[in-house]
Structure 1
Amino acid sequence: MDDQTSGPAARESGARDSRRSRRHAGPADSGFMTRRRVVAISAASLSVLAIAGAAGLWAAYNRLNHNIKTVDIHTESGTGGAVGGNTVPAAARDAMNVLLIGSDSRDGANGQYGDRNSGARSDTTMLLHVAADRKSATVASIPRDTMVQLPGCAQPDGTESKPQSAMFNAAYSIGGAACTVKTVESISGLTIDHVLVVDFTGFKDLVDAMGGVPVTLDKPVNDPDSHLNLPAGTTVVNGEQALAFVRARHNLGDGSDIGRMSRQQQFLNAALDTLSSNGTLDDPKKLYKVLDAATKALTTDPGLGSLNKLADFATDLKQVPRQNITYLTVPWQWYQPDPNRVQLASKAQELFDAMRTDTAVPADVLALSAKQGEQTAS
């Protein structure tokens, strides 16, 4: 029997139907093609965004890294872990001693705060000891007017200064952070592991980037010398006000350098509280702003001279419970030849020995520091 659906005529009819089917594809077929195109475009877009995001993060990291300035402190101190024969106990070798220096340099934008030709000294110096187990820390302020024996230091012109009796803050003007480190090591028997230096402008910019820091006063202050004008109670101060607050001598305390130091420590503590509580650490935009200001403000030793190293340092500090940070002033006594100067008291060595051996600050040292603070607070 012949099959009427086969043959040339049937094949031609089938071909026409096939062409018609391709020309008039239904909605389901066109939707499938559209979805494939959307998925392909979306995947390509996400890839581009991921690459752009990674490139942006890398660029931001490089910018922050590039901001950091370093100074070599170990070519000047050269202690190699022991000073004056005072070796560090094995249990204390993971402890850290860090020198925090506020420079009164008048270079560049800092010129508005004094004579541009007056050089730079250490306006504020704090010795930070972080315990090996990271469960406690001590912050000890060194009075800038302390009379000490300065060691010979390398000077900017390549010459060596002669050892001399002078105020502690003169070390910075002679040989910068390296000479200050060498002086602290000389008078304390400690090894300084790291240094962080910030100048006036850097300090202001950092406070502004944080959104201000709260300070509390028992009574209002209006100091024309520092241009500090604040009411009694708590005020969130901006960078300019904060700088005046930590530098003011008149109308706050007894007008001495000793009197300022407890105020500087209070401000440091308030700044740490602010960073922990104002959401900066959880907000990438705020955090970048603070990191940008901080890295521009700081000069560090090479051991902290990168974003990764600073992050590791910050992680170490973050482990220390806030209530276990002890603030005090290195014990001092009046310098008899000049009543406007002080010198280290015998109790100072007890403090330095406690840091060297990574043990608790003796109670009598804490008591003396508190008593001396009370004498200069009013």
Structure 2
Amino acid sequence: MWRVLGWLSIGLSVVLVAASLTAYGFWRRLDGQIARENVDGRLGDDRPEKLNNSLNILLMGSDSRAGENSRYGEESGQRSDTTILLHISPGGESAIGISFPRDSMVQMPSCEKKNGAVIPAQFGMINAAFSNGGPACTWKTIESLTRVHIDHYVEVDFSGFKRVVDALDGVEICVPHRIDDPKAELHLKKGRQTVQGEQALGYVRTRYVLNDGSDLERIKRQQAFMASVVKKATDRGMLTDPGRTYGFLSAVAKSIKVDDRLTLPTMQKIAGSLRGMSAGKVRFVTVPVQAYPQDKNRVQFSRALAAPLFQAVREDNKLPEPAPTPVPAQNANQAPPVPPAQVRVGVFNGTHTPGLAQRTADQLTERRFKVVKVGTTKKPYPRTQILYGVGAEAQAARLAIAIPGHPPRPWKSAKPGYVYLVIGKDGAALRGQNTMVPTVAGEIRADRDVCART
């Protein structure tokens, strides 16, 4: 069955990458390639209240065998075996994709089909909502389960998935052992490699030749694939090449179907709010589930763990930026802090946490600091330090405002005019950084190494 999660990267990457396109003509051409549907009248009146300026997009993968998808066999009806709620925090601070396992047993509300027929409320597998009433029914079901207000939806099928992966010139994956799966048309060598088209589709579809064959294991693998897509779509080489960027977005536009409220001005507004988004701020999680007692092949939500996650998403408000706290002067003649753009800083990881320096450097760059070096220290550091060279007192003071709790101090070996951030075991949290949505066990970050174990 169709359980491809790779399409999430389509909806996510389009808004992440689109920020680099500012020409209205480009936008118009892209907009004309997108299919749209009106679902407002079928969402019902009992919808959750919109509590903040976050953005919630429902992403669905269709298993339709119509048209280009007929080569993948015959299936009765049409289902969405992939359902993900993409939550973007206010101001584009971070993004999280929440997967809903297709085998989850849930209570679904009554739904109206396009022809006006009403499907009564029922208890069953969550993917049945799509066959009951299309995207509108899945939308209504997820809102009723989470009480999170959804703003838009994006749907894609097999062929659309392949077009997007090919427009990226393939996506990097890491395979634990050689794979030969004729049913999924999948033949892969062991280790790190790049897949395109049919091989990419086969990789995210296959089930029994990798891991334990469970749907939850496949979701984890597919989330790693999505993370790799986001990482490549936000790569600087991709973003600085107008031809590649437009080709990628054109492939996305031809491959998706959205609600008619996701208009051209709305897409431009979303893109503008996400200009500072980096792969390190994108993560993927699965709704916490537990065994369903009546059927060992099904699961149900773990209310104790899922409820706090849904609440955090509902109430994810951007934290206000506190007033800058004056940094104690090293001497009476110390100059006041300068603008971040005038701070040349090297960021070094003094811990055993992979990627920590790069993630922090990305965050500083987004706040307009000039990061000149990213590296790793030869030995671990118990505490974070802000060090500076001759003439960089004011620059160090500015960095200390952004990363409070670490008073700067001079360093004789520092290059004149430069500041050095050495991240120790106590971390380097930026002031005002959004931390509302909690960490979820097994989550995957988009900036991870593709071969890293989760």
TM-score of the aligned structures, taking structure 2 as reference length: 0.63
1:110 to 69, 78, 85: 69
Q: How far apart in 2 are the matches of 1:369 and 1:59?
A: 38
Amino acid at match of 2:256: L
Report sequence identity in percent.
40
Q: Is the 2:234–2:278 contact (alpha carbons within 8 Å) kept by the matching residues of 1?
A: no
Whether 1:361 and 2:318 are equivalent positions in the alignment is no
Match of 2:42 in 1: 76
Unaligned runs of 5+ in 1: 1-56, 371-376
**How far has the Cα of 1:318 moved from its partner?**
4.2
CA 77–156 in structure 1, closer or farther in 2 if over 3 Å, else same: closer
**How far has the Cα of 1:230 moved from its partner?**
0.8
Q: How far apart in 1 are the matches of 2:26 and 2:437?
A: 42
What per-residue deviation string (whole Å, max 9, x for no partner) do you get for residues 169-219 of structure 1? 111111111110000001111111111111110010111111111111122
Match of 2:77 in 1: 119
DSSP 3-state at the match of 1:104: coil
**How far has the Cα of 1:130 moved from its partner?**
1.0
User: What is the alpha-carbon root mean square deviation over aligned residues?
Assistant: 2.4
Q: How far apart in 1 are the matches of 2:260 and 2:312?
A: 27
Match of 2:116 in 1: 158
Amino acid at match of 2:301: L
1:333 to 290, 315, 319: 290
CA 343–197 in structure 1, closer or farther in 2 if over 3 Å, else same: same
Q: Specify the structure having the higher radius of gyration (Cα).
A: 1
Match of 1:273 in 2: 231
Amino acid at match of 1:155: K
**How far has the Cα of 1:232 moved from its partner?**
1.3
- The worse-fitting range, judged by mean Cα deviation, of 130-139 and 147-156 is 130-139
Amino acid at match of 1:224: P
DSSP 3-state at the match of 1:222: strand
DSSP 3-state at the match of 2:228: helix
Match of 2:32 in 1: 66
Q: How far apart in 2 are the matches of 1:168 and 1:320?
A: 31
Match of 2:211 in 1: 253
Residues 33-182 of structure 1: pairs in structure 2 closer than 5 A: 62-78=28-44, 82-83=47-48, 87-89=49-51, 93-115=52-74, 117-182=75-140
> May I ask how many residue pairs the two structures share in their alignment?
305
Amino acid at match of 2:292: Y
Amino acid at match of 2:65: R
Q: Is the 1:127–1:140 contact (alpha carbons within 8 Å) kept by the matching residues of 2?
A: yes
Whether 1:203 and 2:148 are equivalent positions in the alignment is no
Amino acid at match of 2:207: R
CA 151–266 in structure 1, closer or farther in 2 if over 3 Å, else same: same
Q: Is the 1:135–1:321 contact (alpha carbons within 8 Å) kept by the matching residues of 2?
A: no
User: Deviation above 3 Å: which 4+ runs of structure 1?
Assistant: 57-63, 314-318, 367-370
Q: How far apart in 2 are the matches of 1:78 and 1:209?
A: 38
Q: How far apart in 1 are the matches of 2:212 and 2:124?
A: 23
Q: Is the 2:234–2:279 contact (alpha carbons within 8 Å) kept by the matching residues of 1?
A: no
Match of 1:51 in 2: none
CA 237–369 in structure 1, closer or farther in 2 if over 3 Å, else same: closer
DSSP 3-state at the match of 1:245: helix
Q: Is the 1:331–1:369 contact (alpha carbons within 8 Å) kept by the matching residues of 2?
A: no
Higher helix share: 1
Q: How far apart in 1 are the matches of 2:54 and 2:27?
A: 29
Q: How far apart in 2 are the matches of 1:312 and 1:250?
A: 42
Match of 2:309 in 1: 351
- The worse-fitting range, judged by mean Cα deviation, of 67-76 and 339-348 is 67-76
**How far has the Cα of 1:355 moved from its partner?**
0.3
Amino acid at match of 1:328: V
Q: Is the 2:88–2:94 contact (alpha carbons within 8 Å) kept by the matching residues of 1?
A: yes
Q: How far apart in 1 are the matches of 2:201 and 2:138?
A: 22
CA 173–218 in structure 1, closer or farther in 2 if over 3 Å, else same: same
Amino acid at match of 1:70: R
Amino acid at match of 1:97: N
Q: Is the 1:71–1:301 contact (alpha carbons within 8 Å) kept by the matching residues of 2?
A: yes
Unaligned runs of 5+ in 2: 1-22, 317-434, 445-452
Q: How far apart in 1 are the matches of 2:235 and 2:223?
A: 18
Q: How far apart in 2 are the matches of 1:289 and 1:238?
A: 16
CA 256–314 in structure 1, closer or farther in 2 if over 3 Å, else same: farther
Whether 1:299 and 2:260 are equivalent positions in the alignment is no
Q: Is the 1:120–1:172 contact (alpha carbons within 8 Å) kept by the matching residues of 2?
A: yes
